[in-house]
Chain A
Amino acid sequence: MCPDKQLLSAYMDKEIEEPVRRRVTEHLGQCDTCAGVLKSYEQLHSRLLDDTMAFPPFFETRLFEILKEKSVRNPSVRNPSVRYPSVGYVPVWRRKIFVPVPVLAFAMILVMVLAMGITVVSLKNTKGNSIAVNRQEVIPVKLTISDLEELTRLLQSDTYVLEVDMQLPKDHNFSIIGEPVLIRDNGGGVYDLRP
């Protein structure tokens, strides 16, 4: 059975794959009709290619002249015949920058160190703020003057702001001079009443 003419056309174009191609080849060896059809396609192909066509002279020159004219009228279209444009023509934001890899690596490390430093400092500040917030809590504590050790311990505590009421001995006469001052613990158990 003869193959379809479409198949012979595709066969000539090498668009038929094995094993169909092999079977068509075998058939063509035995069938003069199909061989004639294929030959007519091949002749047509040769005739088409024989019809030599002259490429227009100066096509490229004219094309690049047109592109040059367009580039003058519209700066977005540059003249492609200029292969190596001057550096000054390139806008700053489009220039290439070449950085050696070691310099780039050092810069990246520096940036990372700075970022870490900033992070640490900011965390510390955050901690300080949180303590300050905690310090807003006020726990009233009533102690007698004999409980100085307990007072010292509380004052050394960094957690809370303490409001301390001190009851001075009633058998002594104390006169208050000036504004009240805070008692600050100086770490050695001695209380300095100076502001």
Chain B
Amino acid sequence: MNREDRTLEFHRVYKDTFRLIYVIAYRITGKTESAEELSQEAFIKLYERITQFSDADQAKYWLIRVVKNLALNHEKRKGREIKAYSKFLNSAKQTEESGEASFMKKEMSKAVQQALNKLKPNLRMPLVLKEYGELSYKEIASILGISEGNVKVRVWRAREILGDLIREDGYVS
């Protein structure tokens, strides 16, 4: 594949997947900055290896795997920071709300994302790929390296737990 073909192929895969990749990164990390950073990293890796894929689907699944791994690693790395951030937010809740605190509250008041963040990664990932990626159980199984039956169970368990979490906040009747 020459440079021009490589560039065109990259653009094609990018156009087909950039929203999906960003959404997955965002839904796993819960932060727009992190999602952008991880998505960019994933696409840079894709460009370096774009010649290795036989078709666009293969590149897409590879990209999802990469962003999933990046996001999970990012989450582990930032675990302490997230906890500290949550602690700060809780203390801010109890104090008089300044403009900054109000902004942070608004950011964190996204109940769905909060609930998603509370899910264990092994449950969150299949649900995110199902709900936002609109992938089939078979595709999710291939990406995560688990069986279709396992995907079915994890998606169901994630829905049950997420439903309970959101109901607690009164967002779903």
Q: Which residues of A contact B (CB under 8 A)?
A: 5-6, 9-10, 13, 15, 40-41, 43-45, 47-49, 51, 53-56, 59-60, 62-63, 66-67, 70, 76-78, 80, 82-85, 89-90, 94, 96
**Once the chains bind, are B113 and A9 in contact (CB under 8 Å)?**
no
**Once the chains bind, are A85 and B159 in contact (CB under 8 Å)?**
no
* Cross-interface CB contact of A70 among B8, B32, B36, B44, cutoff 8 Å: B44
Known: A44-B163, A56-B22, A56-B32. A10 touches B156 (CB 8 A): yes
What residues of chain A lie closer than 8 Å to B43, measured between beta carbons? 63
Can you show 22 pairs from A to B with CB atoms below 8 A apart? A5-B160, A9-B159, A10-B155, A13-B130, A13-B137, A15-B137, A44-B159, A48-B131, A48-B132, A51-B110, A51-B112, A53-B23, A59-B18, A59-B36, A62-B40, A67-B44, A70-B44, A78-B3, A83-B4, A85-B3, A85-B4, A90-B2
Indicate if B93 sits at the interface (CB-CB under 8 A): no
Known: A10-B137, A44-B172, A59-B36. A51 touches B113 (CB 8 A): yes
**Once the chains bind, are B137 and A53 in contact (CB under 8 Å)?**
no
What residues of chain A lie closer than 8 Å to B159, measured between beta carbons? 9, 41, 44
What residues of chain B lie closer than 8 Å to A77, measured between beta carbons? 44, 47-48
**Once the chains bind, are A44 and B113 in contact (CB under 8 Å)?**
no
The 9 tightest CB contacts between A and B, nearest first, are: A9-B156, A51-B112, A6-B156, A80-B7, A48-B131, A80-B10, A56-B36, A63-B40, A15-B137
If A10-B152, A44-B166, A51-B110 are given as contacts, then 9 extra A-B residue pairs at C-beta distance below 8 Å, sorted by A number, are: A10-B155, A43-B172, A48-B112, A55-B22, A67-B44, A80-B7, A83-B11, A85-B3, A96-B2
What residues of chain B lie closer than 8 Å to A67, measured between beta carbons? 44, 47
Indicate if B102 sits at the interface (CB-CB under 8 A): no
Q: Which residues of B contact A (CB under 8 A)?
A: 2-4, 6-8, 10-11, 14, 18-19, 22-23, 26, 32, 35-36, 39-40, 43-44, 47-48, 110, 112-113, 130-132, 136-137, 152-153, 155-156, 159-160, 162-163, 166, 171-173
What CA separation (Å) do A55 and B25 show in the bound complex? 12
Closest CB in chain B relative to A109 CB, distance in Å: 30
**Once the chains bind, are B8 and A83 in contact (CB under 8 Å)?**
yes
What CA separation (Å) do A53 and B171 show in the bound complex? 17
What residues of chain B lie closer than 8 Å to A9, measured between beta carbons? 152, 155-156, 159
Residue in B closest to A89 when the chains form the complex, CB atoms: B3
What residues of chain A lie closer than 8 Å to B35, measured between beta carbons? 56
What residues of chain A lie closer than 8 Å to B3, measured between beta carbons? 78, 85, 89-90
